[in-house]
Every structure is written in C-alpha cells, then in structure tokens.
Copies of this chain bind each other. A is one copy, B any other.
C-alpha cells in the first residue's frame, strides 16, 4: 500500500482509501458537480435550482417541505430556492386546501426553461459516462440508488 521511497511520488497513492466505494463516490461527485456547474453557468442555473425545477415539474402540487426532503435536506432549504425560481417567473406558490400549506406548480415559462435545460443535462450525462461501457452506464444508477437509500425504493416519510 505504500510508496517504498521517501520521494514524493508522481502517482498519488490513496492508501486505505484506494478502492473504497466511499472515496470513489466522493471523487466522482467532485467531477460531476463541477462539470454540471460549468455546463449550467451560462443559463444562470445551479444544480440545486435545476433539481428543484425538475422535481416540481414531475410532481405538480408538491409542497416545499416534500421538495426539500426529496432533495435530501430540511424544510428551510426550500425557501431561497423557491424565491429565486418564483422571482424568475418559473413557478408559482399556490395556497393549498389547508391555508397554511402551499402547492408548487411550474409556469409555462418554467416548462420551457426545463426543456432547454434537459439538453444541457443530457450532454453533461454523456461526458461523465464517457469512460463507461453502455452496460456499465445502464446499471450504475440503480446501484447508486441502493447506496443512497441503504436499499429499497425511493420512499419519503
């Protein structure tokens, strides 16, 4: 596991971290998030803004709290994201049947923006899977989901 010489090596050895799923995911995440940030920058979007837009699009009427949970954080994280998206006219906050709850819906502008973003995401996906075979790229998302969830389906609360 070690470099026998005392010289700084040309290839860095990750030692006990090498070959772990844990560190592999961390390194892959760095590549993915940077590539996506760069690809989205010209459009003024960030990865979290895109995720929020896409999740509201696929789940019309979803509440801010459920949106935040789907994205993996607490309620309070939704507000600034929604302020931004609503300010750009991409979605609306409508009162629910219960007057303290809110239902989110995309506007026509939001749907159009999402259509354009989809092609950026598709190109990004091609770039990050360039080193994988078609089979590997096809099987990876399901494996990652099982890492993310422990196992089982994507249930929320």
Q: A: which residues have CB within 8 A of B? A: 1-3, 6-33, 36, 47, 51, 54-55, 57-63, 66, 69-70, 72, 103, 114, 118, 121, 124-125, 128-132, 136-137, 140-141, 143-156
Instruction: Count this chain's copies in the assembly.
Output: 2
Contact of A58 among B13, B22, B129, B140 (CB under 8 A): B13
A105 CB to closest chain B CB (Å) equals 8
Q: Is the interface of A mostly helix, strand, loop or mixed?
A: helix
Please tell me if the beta carbons of A151 and B125 are within 8 angstroms of each other in the complex: no
In the assembly, what is the distance between CA of A125 and CA of B55, in Å? 30
Please tell me if the beta carbons of A11 and B128 are within 8 angstroms of each other in the complex: no
Q: Which residue of B lies closest to A9 (CB)?
A: B59
Please tell me if the beta carbons of B140 and A54 are within 8 angstroms of each other in the complex: no
Please tell me if the beta carbons of A59 and B125 are within 8 angstroms of each other in the complex: no
| A132: B residues at CB distance < 8 A | 21, 143, 146-147
